Amino acid sequence: MQPQQKGAQRLGRWLLAHQYRTGMSQFAFTHGFLAEQLRVQRATVTESLAGLQKQKIIKYGYGSVELLHAKALEKKACECFQQAKAAVENFLADIRSYTGNELSW
């Protein structure tokens, strides 16, 4: 991971990836859990969540994070989310063409 990536970018990418994998937009995540996943201090997560909530991109409360505007979060997240999403889509397309089956996350 690049050192210049800021907390909100990393958090945004992580939330988007989780939404992409699960199809859900509300998550039962604590600040502590997110800090562990992102390998940052809890205060960094709190500051990042507060900034995103102020912009009305997410809503968070005790043990809960809700993604309100995924497109806006994509603009905040680093470009690596789009790169990872495209790689997964290409991989699944290759599998579908090989097996003839529809696969989804």
What are 22-49's pLDDT values in tens digits?
Answer: 899 999 999 999 999 999 999 999 999 9
Amino acid letter at 80?
C
Give the pLDDT score at 63: 93
C-alpha–C-alpha distance, residues 79 and 83, integer Å: 7
Identify the helix (H) or strand (E) that includes residue 60: strand 58-61
pLDDT digits (tens, 9 = 90+) for 44-93: 999 999 999 999 999 999 999 999 999 999 888 867 666 777 777 777 67
Which 3 state secondary structure label does DSSP give 5?
A: coil
